[in-house]
Amino acid sequence: MITVKPLPLKALHADGRDVVVFGYEDGTLAGAKVLPGAAKAALAQKLKGEGFKGKAKEIARAELEIFGKSRRVYAVGLGPRKGAGAEAFRRAAGSLVGALRAKRERVAVLCSENLQAVAEGLLLGSYKYEEYKKGDADVLKEAQIVFADAGSRSAVEKACAKAALGVEAVCLARDLVNRGPSDKTPMSLAELARSFSGSGVSVDVIEREQAETLGMGAFLGVARGSAQPPAMVHMVYKPKGAGKNRVAIVGKGITFDSGGLSLKPAQSMESMKCDMAGAAAVLAVFKVIARLKPKAEVHGIFAATYNLPGPDAYKPGDVLKAMNGKTIEVWNTDAEGRLVLADALCLAAKQEPQAIVDLATLTGAVVTALGSSVAGAMSNNPRLLGRILAASKRADEPLWELPLVEDYKDNIKGNVAELLNISKVRGEAGSIIGGLFLREFVGGRPWVHLDIAGTAFADNDGPCGPKGGTGAAVRTLLEWLAAL
């Protein structure tokens, strides 16, 4: 990862380092106002000669004398000016890193808007996952965002610090999702959680025997097929002083999903190491929560287990009893995420929070509905949902509300138990059915469910990260918690 930090304009005068500007399709250069008028005009002319159109992710280079030094100037396209927001700057900054990481050691970025997004893009674009193999060594080590005077210094410093904190969390989530499934056992995730103890964070790991005592039959049913022991992890952050609010974030942690006895096709298993992305997001938040310092008491809960077809694996036709006493008839062992979340949500509700947010790679149906760039959101509380949607907008992590259609609830009424773990009507409203099922376990508490099945794993490289784990919803959670 590169470092991103502020740089006084006067310091730029003293050396000949490369400079970066951002440009719109209308020819406007963002951040170029700090340049002398003659240099600005000369740069615009040079870029025009290079054929720079300002299209998104386009990069052009010009040689120019600025502040008495001959230097390279890189212009990065933002696309159309109308409607361009923080995400355009984030992606442009990420594209810049991709273009320069093997060429230049450091660059100075001229920008006076969307500073945090620029810093995030620079950091996210430099992410690599190298646990199992090392790529080519990067030349680029540092990017500095230029501030013109003492009045603008604070804004740049704040943007860099906030971006660094958020990206640190995102990168942990990415690392965890990218790790091979045999190398991230449920207990290894529990041990990682334990390492966050201190600075206001406490950690309780509920192992099999205690989970049995607590009545976590849905969670333990899924875990029966694996030789590796499961772990229900409960982390708590308490702010200094009395926090007025208590909230819970809950994550699905299936460290590999084979589908169980309802076995997935081989190709469908290829990315199933990502089925713990919800748990990864919860862990990521708790890695930085003591430095984020939200004013609320925050409970982070995740249910971690493999879903495998072992000798004692749970079976279609089994009836499981969740922590709140509700019985569940299993029709498909590949609808296991909602089962482990059932007990995790019961545990969350037991803490009597004012809000519960769960994250899960729950359904393929949400990918069909919303694609790979938008997560689904369902809720029993419009006010809480509005706050989560607002946080996602600030983070530029798109969410789309799906309705919890009451008429569909009859489709998960069991024949021999209270609930079915899949719908009686196949191929219809799969994501909503999952949300309706989960709602049965929140005890009436304000709750939002985020189905991140489409956004948690990227099949292709992008400007702000390579293919693989994305760290989906981590920045949204941090935005929400910071605003409490």
> Hey, is 411 helix, strand or coil?
helix
Q: Does the 180-482 domain belong in CATH 3.40.630.10?
A: yes
> Hey, is 367 helix, strand or coil?
helix
- Listed as own residue / partner, the contacts of 424-428 with beta carbons closer than 8 Å and 24 or more positions apart are none
Name the catalytic one among 101, 252, 338, 387: 338
pLDDT the model gives residue 199: 85
pLDDT the model gives residue 423: 98
The 8-class DSSP code of residue 91 comes to: H
Q: How far apart are alpha carbons 226 and 240 in whole angstroms?
A: 41
Spans of all domains in the chain: 3-172, 180-482
pLDDT the model gives residue 150: 83
- CATH homologous superfamily of domain 3-172? Leucine Aminopeptidase, subunit E, domain 1 (3.40.220.10)
Residue 383 annotated as catalytic:
no
pLDDT the model gives residue 303: 98
pLDDT the model gives residue 32: 77
Distance (Å) of CA 112 to CA 34, 45, 70, 155, 279: 9, 22, 23, 9, 36
Residue 264 annotated as catalytic:
yes
Return the ∠ at Cα 390 (arms to 239 and 234), rounded to 5°.
40
Name the catalytic one among 264, 350, 393, 439: 264
Q: How far apart are alpha carbons 436 and 439 in whole angstroms?
A: 5
Q: Do domains 3-172 and 180-482 have the same CATH topology?
A: no
The 8-class DSSP code of residue 402 comes to: -
pLDDT per residue, tens digit, the chain (484 aa), is 999 999 999 998 888 889 999 999 998 898 778 888 888 899 999 999 999 999 998 999 999 999 889 999 999 999 999 988 999 999 999 999 999 999 999 999 999 899 999 999 999 999 999 999 998 889 999 999 999 888 899 999 999 999 999 999 999 999 999 999 999 999 999 999 999 999 899 999 999 999 999 999 999 999 999 999 999 999 999 998 877 899 999 999 999 999 999 999 999 999 999 999 999 999 999 999 999 999 999 999 999 999 999 999 999 999 999 999 999 999 999 999 999 999 999 999 999 999 999 999 999 999 999 999 999 999 999 999 999 999 999 999 999 999 999 999 999 999 999 999 999 999 999 999 999 999 999 999 999 999 999 999 999 999 999 999 999 999 999 999 999 9
Beta strands in 294-345 (DSSP E): 297-307, 319-321, 327-329
Per-residue tokens: 97: 């890193």
Stated pTM of the model: 0.97
